[in-house]
Structure 1
Amino acid sequence: MNRLTSIDRRVIGTTIRKASRGLPQHLLRNVAHRGAFWSLIVARVVYAVNWYNIASIFAPMAIELKTDVSGLGILASSFYFGVVLFQIPGGLLAAKYGPRRTSFAGIFLASVSALFTGFSSGLGEAAALRFIVGLGMALFFSPGVSLIARYYRKGSEGFGIGLYNSAFDLGGALGLFGWALLAEVFGWRQSLFFSGGMGIVTSFLIIVLIPKEDLSGDSPLKLKELSDVLLNRELFILSLNILGQNVGSILVGSFIVYYLETALGVGYELAGSAGALFLLMMLAFSPVSGRIYDRLKDARRLLLVSGLVMSAGVGLAAFGGVYGAFAATIIVGISAGLGFTVGFAAARETNKSQVKYESLAIAWANSISLSAGFWSPVLFSLVVSSSGYPPAWLLGSLLTLAFVLSILALKTKARAESR
């Protein structure tokens, strides 16, 4: 068995080296980390495919499962419930058993559940499986951030996290557009078999390519240390800012295409390109944002700028018709790339004295920020129904602004010390 694993490592490692020639190798702590780096990036892409593809294949699903748009809402709510509920358990598992094992367990569980969703015979089964997909993704996210940051040299960790976020945006685009085509050609069930199978493969890449961790010297988890992480004032302020960034990005990402089609009379193809543009802006700007953060190390200023720009971008959708909507898509995409990359890089650094709790800090920030996914779309929809889109976009802008301004409570001195 050990010999087979060694052979697998050499074969996979050769493939990784050929694929990674364009990677800035000098930023990695060790050239040997290339395989680990790429295993996380590939897993993150497939992770995002299984996050987004249900939305793109739901039309044929709804026919077979005998449901309507309310069924999509149930699937989305079940998924987000799993993602948010298990962020903290994921961080605790990473602290106790290491991020390598936790990330493997998460992506494997999410992928198997995504595959089995293709066998669903009713909405209830599909909702239960989507909950487990969300659970697995919660276990993968924060350990993945922690691992990928460790593989980059000191002062370049933000760039690594930016690439990790870009991989999610790439996978999201594939899930939204590629899986709609796969479902049309092969069927929605087969498309889920494919994405779930891809995820299972990436989980084994992680366990083969990521070096084993030495946990023998780690002390047991202590309540005092856990409370120091979860009650950290700096981390809570960062989390509120990221929540505000999530409000703006969720509203634009969820509603801009439908808004262009129904309120502004734009054709499906052109309206759909707005959704792609949003993801492409995030994809392109996340690594750039990481490098900016690595150089400036000023989370307060960068998160304030990204939050203010995002708030203005969301508000712009209320004015200017089609041009205003497309401008809002570009602005919010760029600011989201900056805000999320800087936010999670800074969240990771709030507990530098307790390295094993990095994943927990990131998970706590992510669970707070993802809570926006529960209430902001519902509130936006209610305002649209009662008053129309312009007031709803303006409300979204104000809500974004209210949360991102929390970063003003972050002391500049504290950030400088945590560097």
Structure 2
Amino acid sequence: MSRSTPWAMLALLSAGFIALTLNWFDVAAAFPLIGAEFHVGLGSLSFLISLFLVGYGVAHIPGGMLATAIGMKRTLVIGLALQGVAGVASGLSQSYTALAWFRLLSGIGGSIFIAVAFAAVIVWFHDTQVTLALGISGGAAFSAGAAFALYVWIYLQRATSWHTSLLLAGVFELLVAAATLIWFRTPADAPALHGTRFERDALTASVASRDLWIYGIALLGAYGAYFTTSQLFTEYAILERGFDASKGGLLSAMIALAGIPGSIVGGYWADRSRNIRAFVVGSLIACAVLLALIPVVPTGVLWVLGIGIGFFLIFGFAAWSAVPTRVSRIRHEYVGTATGLMLTLAAVGGFFIPIIFGHLVPHTSFNTGWYFLAVISFVFALVGLAGRNPSSASVASAVTTRTEVAA
């Protein structure tokens, strides 16, 4: 195997992450236009975020199990293709109800893809720079797609329409699905990744790992707060702080863009540390503090807070996504299911928190909404203190592997 092969696979998977978040966040950039066309307010618009995350949450574990049964490559292609078709259909929607259903379907496709994509990165990198690789794909590429959707897509909408912009995002993902079908492969020394029969004991052990549950629950609050903030910060900046639409969109995009350096820095240093718990819990508490400051800082400081929230959430997410392999030591053919369990737990917050925020703000104020996000992020972050760190043996193995590769 060429030394460049893992990085080529990482580039292909990263394109999938970009397509995933482009088709996830592009609808948020269109919220003002969707609201005007379908005559709906903030509550209904925030419900579209939650609907995506319903589909995104329920299919993580089935997606991982599907990958075990039919193989990693087929499952990646199915997830990308399903979300791409849903993106095209979202653009063709002529009613709020139709759009809502297609957002749900889009979430299911994204869910199938992402848990298996994390597993694909892990099997190619093993203990060699695995957290950095996860940071590049699930952090930097994820954030790049979101930023592109939240800012660049605004100009595409103005030049065409929100319908066309959603349709084109779906087409892009279908092209990535085709590229994955043609070029993606799994390591030659891991034939089980082409599909294998379930071993009940191994599967049960994978989803019963205490650390998967602890770290999954720890992310629940900040996960929902991050997606709420990144998609509704523009509305706040425009309605409460006097931003114009372009500047408000850029503010939301900066939240996502900040995740690019956050993921790379977090992944690089987490690879060299045994204290994954500190990376995860520390970053979530930092996000909670920044959220609590939103109502009280001068308008110009909102840029700093937004960038900080995006940086710290993804900084910790790189270490968080390595828990199945570095802490729980899950077998490769079950990593997709294990990662799916963690993402499902986090997605509970992704569903309920935007809904609560969307109904809380109209009846109180945006300030109350930000304090709510801060408190719930902090409370769930504390759960992570019960999580374990990688064993000394696993860290020693990673160091040995890096030394061998360098030699």
Query: How do 1:7-406 and structure 2 match up within 5 A?
Result: 30-61=3-34, 66-69=38-41, 71-152=44-125, 154-164=127-137, 165-211=139-185, 214-215=191-192, 220-406=197-383
Change (3 A) 1:117 1:330: closer
* Structure 2 gap ranges (5+): 396-407
Q: Deviations over 1:179-214 (max 9, x none)?
A: 222222123333233222211111111121112562
For 1:19, the equivalent position in structure 2 comes to none
User: In structure 1, what is the Cα distance between the partners aligned to 2:49 and 2:297?
Assistant: 31
Change (3 A) 1:216 1:267: closer
Q: Counterpart of 1:303 in structure 2: which amino acid?
A: V
1:106 and 1:136 in contact (8 A); partners too? yes
For 2:400, the equivalent position in structure 1 comes to none
Q: Deviations over 1:98-128 (max 9, x none)?
A: 2211111100111122113333333333222
1:351 and 1:358 in contact (8 A); partners too? no
> Per-residue deviation at 1:313?
1.1
Q: Deviations over 1:10-31 (max 9, x none)?
A: xxxxxxxxxxxxxxxxxx9721
- Match of 1:407, SS state, is helix
Q: Deviations over 1:103-158 (max 9, x none)?
A: 11100111122113333333333222222211111110011111123333633011
Q: Counterpart of 1:81 in structure 2: which amino acid?
A: V
2:55 and 2:105 in contact (8 A); partners too? yes
Q: Deviations over 1:359-400 (max 9, x none)?
A: 111111111112112222333344444543444333322211
2:125 and 2:133 in contact (8 A); partners too? yes
> Per-residue deviation at 1:303?
1.4
Q: Counterpart of 1:51 in structure 2: which amino acid?
A: W
Task: Tell me the TM-score normalized by structure 1.
Answer: 0.85
* Structure 1 gap ranges (5+): 1-27
Change (3 A) 1:217 1:56: closer
Q: Deviations over 1:336-365 (max 9, x none)?
A: 121211111123434425221111111111
> Per-residue deviation at 1:63?
5.5
> Per-residue deviation at 1:305?
1.6
Percentage identity across paired residues of the two chains: 20
Could you tell me which of 407, 411, 418 is aligned with 2:384? 407
RMSD (Å), alpha carbons: 2.5
> Per-residue deviation at 1:324?
4.4
Instruction: Please identify the structure whose Cα radius of gyration is greater.
Output: 1
- Match of 1:215, SS state, is helix
- Which has the bigger relative contact order, CA under 8 A and spacing at least 6? 2
User: In structure 2, what is the Cα distance between the partners aligned to 1:132 and 1:82?
Assistant: 6
User: In structure 2, what is the Cα distance between the partners aligned to 1:399 and 1:185?
Assistant: 39
Change (3 A) 1:106 1:353: closer
User: In structure 2, what is the Cα distance between the partners aligned to 1:340 and 1:33?
Assistant: 21
